[in-house]
Structure 1
Amino acid sequence: MSVFKAIILVILSFAVQLSFSQTTKMIVRAKAKDAKFIGTGIGGAYVIVRNNTTGEILAQGYTTGTSGDTEVIMNTPIARKTRLADDNTAKFEAQLDIREPVFVDVEVIAPFNRKAASVKATTQLWVIPGKDILGDGIILDIPGYILDIKYPSTHEVIAAESLTHGSLRARVYLVMMCGCVINKGGIWDAEDIEVWGVLRRDGQILSEFPLEITDDDNVFEGALPLEDKGSFELLVYAFDGKTGNSGVDKVSFVIN
């Protein structure tokens, strides 16, 4: 075969491959379980789309946009094919350059900026060249709460004289994974959520105590019983028995 013919065959082969190559769009969203979408206001979700066979990353990036329409998402019965998201609702739009159907892994890490609370959710699907997946797209459910112990803070040294009747007023901040507000009697009602503290010393549980919602949104407080000086560990958990949502934070502190 002449060099000229070989070059022509290579060119034709490349042209055929290009004719099948199409940019295919796929929208991916992360939605907090029993709540709204995870968007710019909480730092977004990080999305990775991989070729399942080769492990090649085909697209990656953050969801951006709002948490969505509360009335539609939380208060309206959803019939089949009803859209939950509007044009402003947080999303990541993947642009996939594929020449044939590809089986992909879609991974979402959310909320991405809150490492102690972030959850990884995954799914798999076939993507067909030229067949865009738009509208609501692929929605991955993200369970849990973001829980931060505000007082005592990490490795804080607290004077024993500052304790009130042998107790410390523990305070935590609790929000939905989308950043939605938890308060008294609201859509995300604090009365539905158990918030408990567990005090430990040298691995042994010393006491357990409840934390209750305050007049401030998302803020829970409780009396942490303390009788001795020394180093302690405080673990606080939140749990909703109806949805299964849970969250945990833990700090160590010193009474001196």
Structure 2
Amino acid sequence: MNYGSLTRLIGTGFLVLLSSVSAAFTPEPSESEIESTSHYNDPLPTTVLVRVVAHRSLVLGHDVGGARVTITDVATGQLLASGLQQGEPGDQTQIMRTPHLMDEPLYSGRPAAAFSATLELARPTLVEITAEGPLAYPNALQRASKTVLLIPGHDLTNDGIVLHLYGYLVQVESPKPGEPLIAKEDVMLRASVRTLSGALVRPHSDWDSRKVHIYAELLIGDRIVERLQMFYAGEKSRFEAPFFVPLSKDAPDGISVRVIAADVATGNFGMGTAQYPVLSERLRSRKN
């Protein structure tokens, strides 16, 4: 055996000896360490707060029926929580007029409607959070959802997860939907326009009607026969436009009216509809 081989053999033996000694003196974990690691897989309570708001407006509160919120495990499809958002629409000055830094709360500085649930999570969980509202106005119901990764023990509070619903509440108020109209009469159409949170749309307000295209369409069947530009009526959020009722022979199944509010700058659009039977003008003369 030459000198190099002998040197390598001695070095290998020395490393084996050191490994054996090191293994012999490795301390066993204490009972407290074993106890702490045994809880790693225990579920942890995790609070999730959700806020449903009207896009570029306030929170959906009890004035508009609030919103329905569901939280679903994306991987399993299991429903983890569901309930209603109820409460106040929030402080208009704080939400609409006060400048904010990125990490400052926008909706939670003062009381505002929210939905809150505490989940028992044992692992990071990808969830889908879905909101529907406003519940008091089924014809204007909108839906939005987000997928969010939740980490056990890490609460989502303050503003929470914010879901934006787009649209307007548009309601035809006069003539009352379903009210018979007399042919050739001059009728004043009136409708109200609000944000989905119930805030009034009117000139020179935070929701300035001058920036919103508000108009009505008169239909016979599926055909538009007239388009009406609607103007602010000087009260609350009401808008109006006059129109002539067509002849009953031209509208044997009556007429329909749809009022549209469209703001392309914000992406908010809303529509209200109403149907009216049309009576012959001779019926009115006989009655008189």
Q: Which structure shows the bigger proportion of residues in helix conformation?
A: 2
Q: Which structure shows the bigger proportion of residues in strand conformation?
A: 1
Aligned equivalents of 2:49, 2:237: Cα separation in 1: 31
Aligned equivalents of 1:200, 1:91: Cα separation in 2: 41
Mapped pair 1:254 → 2:273:
no
* Aligned CA distance change for structure 1 residues 205 and 41 (closer, same or farther; 3 Å): closer
SS of the residue corresponding to residue 20 of structure 1 reads: coil
**Which residue type is aligned with residue 38 of structure 1?**
L
Q: CA deviation at 1:68?
A: 1.2
Query: 1:112-123 alignment to 2 at 5 Å?
Result: 112-123=135-146
Mapped pair 1:71 → 2:65:
no
Mapped pair 1:26 → 2:45:
no
Cα contact 1:67–1:89 (8 A) shared by 2: yes
Aligned residue for 1:11?
Answer: none
Aligned residue for 1:236?
Answer: 259
Aligned residue for 1:194?
Answer: 213
Aligned equivalents of 1:219, 1:134: Cα separation in 2: 38
> What is the aligned counterpart of 2:176 among 121, 138, 153?
153
**Which residue type is aligned with residue 129 of structure 2?**
V
Aligned equivalents of 1:90, 1:104: Cα separation in 2: 22
Query: 1:1-256 alignment to 2 at 5 Å?
Result: 20-85=42-107, 86-160=109-183, 163=185, 167-229=186-248, 230=251, 231-256=254-279
- What are the superposed Cα offsets for residues 117-144 of structure 1, whole Å, 9 maximum, x if unpaired? 1110000011111111011100011111
Cα contact 2:181–2:245 (8 A) shared by 1: no
SS of the residue corresponding to residue 116 of structure 1 reads: helix
Cα contact 2:182–2:245 (8 A) shared by 1: no
Aligned equivalents of 2:119, 2:228: Cα separation in 1: 51
The unaligned stretches of length 5 or more in structure 1 are 1-15
**Which residue type is aligned with residue 21 of structure 1?**
P
**Which residue type is aligned with residue 171 of structure 1?**
R
Q: Structure 2 length normalisation: TM-score?
A: 0.78
Q: CA deviation at 1:64?
A: 1.9
Aligned equivalents of 2:163, 2:149: Cα separation in 1: 16
Aligned equivalents of 2:228, 2:142: Cα separation in 1: 27
- What are the superposed Cα offsets for residues 18-41 of structure 1, whole Å, 9 maximum, x if unpaired? 961122100000111111111122
Q: CA deviation at 1:226?
A: 2.5
Q: CA deviation at 1:107?
A: 0.1
Aligned equivalents of 1:204, 1:118: Cα separation in 2: 26
Aligned equivalents of 2:79, 2:102: Cα separation in 1: 32
Cα contact 1:148–1:173 (8 A) shared by 2: yes
**Which residue type is aligned with residue 112 of structure 1?**
L
Q: Which has the higher contact order (CA 8 A, sep 6+)?
A: 1
Equivalenced residue count is 237
